Amino acid sequence: MKIYTKTGDKGTTALFGGTRVPKHHIRIESYGTVDELNSHLGLIRDQDINPVYKHTIAIIQDRLFTVGAILATDPEKATLKSGKERLNIPKISESDIEKLEQEMDLMNESLPPMTHFILPGGHQTVSFCHIARCVCRRAERLASHLHSIEPFQPESLTYLNRLSDYLFVLARKLSHDLNAEEIKWVPEKL
């Protein structure tokens, strides 16, 4: 299989189901940002961190491919008029969302309570988490916009929302594990 097909040379690309859309379409922006997020997670997974976090991130990366597939599917081509699925696209489950919540709860057990906003940084790995969190929020905003135009499985939106929370907690946990300083944001009084 060749990587280059030349079918996108005029600024369009194909969705699952064959529909062609401009490469700047909100659907492409949405799943492209999920792909960008997945790459940032790969960078975090490549760091010298607890193998438990690496394993969880690998699972998350798999689920992000599922989210990407959902976002890359033309909703009109995904189901037949009878309502039966035409394309075999996996789904995000409630248990996928609950897994993120459970992981956050476990990490939070060993963290001090948060009393202020925290400035991103303190250690390179922690900064990678904050960057991934911001990309996740952007993916969520784009997917939310797409969902308002062409609805898709709502659990995908919930998953992205919960994932950004997970990445924030992971950043705090890594700060703790790496003995990195968490700098609290205390607004200056004018």
Average confidence (pLDDT) over 23-34: 92
pLDDT in tens, 148-170: 999 999 999 999 999 999 999 99
Q: Give residue 11's pLDDT.
A: 81
Q: Give residue 84's pLDDT.
A: 57
Say what percent of the chain tops pLDDT 90: 68
Residue 190 belongs to some domain of the structure: no
Task: List the single range of 20-29, 31-40, 93-102 with lowest mean pLDDT.
Answer: 20-29
pLDDT class for 80, splitting at 50, 70, 90?
Answer: very low
pLDDT over 80 at 8, yes or no: no
- Give the number of domains in the chain: 1
The boundaries of the domain holding residue 156 are 21-73+95-106+119-181
pLDDT over 90 at 21, yes or no: no
Residue 82 belongs to some domain of the structure: no
43: domain CATH number is 1.20.1200.10
Residue 43 belongs to some domain of the structure: yes
pLDDT class for 86, splitting at 50, 70, 90?
Answer: low
Question: Distance (Å, rounded) from C-alpha 1 to C-alpha 135?
Answer: 31
pLDDT in tens, 113-153: 888 888 999 999 999 999 999 999 999 999 999 999 999 99
Exposure string over 20-52, b if 16+ CB within 10 A, otherwise e:
eeeeebbbbbbbbbbbebbebbeebbebebeee
Q: Give residue 24's pLDDT.
A: 84
Residue 174 belongs to some domain of the structure: yes
Residue 146 belongs to some domain of the structure: yes
pLDDT over 70 at 81, yes or no: no
Residue 4 belongs to some domain of the structure: no
* Burial of residue 186 (number of CB atoms within 10 Å: 0-12, 13-18, 19+): exposed
Residue 89 belongs to some domain of the structure: no
Residue 5 belongs to some domain of the structure: no
